[in-house]
Amino acid sequence: MSSQKHTNYAHGPLSFGGWLRQMRDDKKVPLRVVAAAAEMDQAHLCKIELGHRVPTEKQTAALARYFEVNPQDLEARRIAEKFRQDFAKNPAAPMAVQLLHDAPFDICKIES
């Protein structure tokens, strides 16, 4: 079992980018260091922190390793951010979220 740090970053009102920026600031590391660890351009990471982009799955996994957070938690945040960016202005979005909440995914059905 890996030793993932448990932080208060896993949940909260911050956007994915804001949350990432907070972790980077708390660690007192420059953007270029985190970008290199996630194998991405510094400008791309800046856009992620500003909420203009969403990282790929691979970049998200690298960020989780760098910050020593649970990769599944970070991937869930990435998915939520992608949903927010894609559907924030759609009036049906809150109902879609409620449907997901009321009937969670059944992994067995999805894999069948």
Tokens linked to 49: 């922190």
Tokens linked to 71: 């990769």
Say whether pLDDT at 111 is over 80. Answer: no
> How many residues would you count in the chain?
112
Tokens linked to 51: 């909420």
The CA distance from 112 to 99, in Å, is: 21
The hierarchical CATH code for the domain 8-111 is 1.10.260.40
Q: Provide the residue ranges of all domains of the chain, joining segments of one domain with +.
A: 8-111
pLDDT at position 3 is 42
pLDDT band at 100 (very low <50, low <70, confident <90, very high): confident
Cα-Cα-Cα-Cα torsion 41, 44, 68, 75, nearest 10 degrees, comes to: -130
Mean pLDDT (whole number) for 79-94:
94
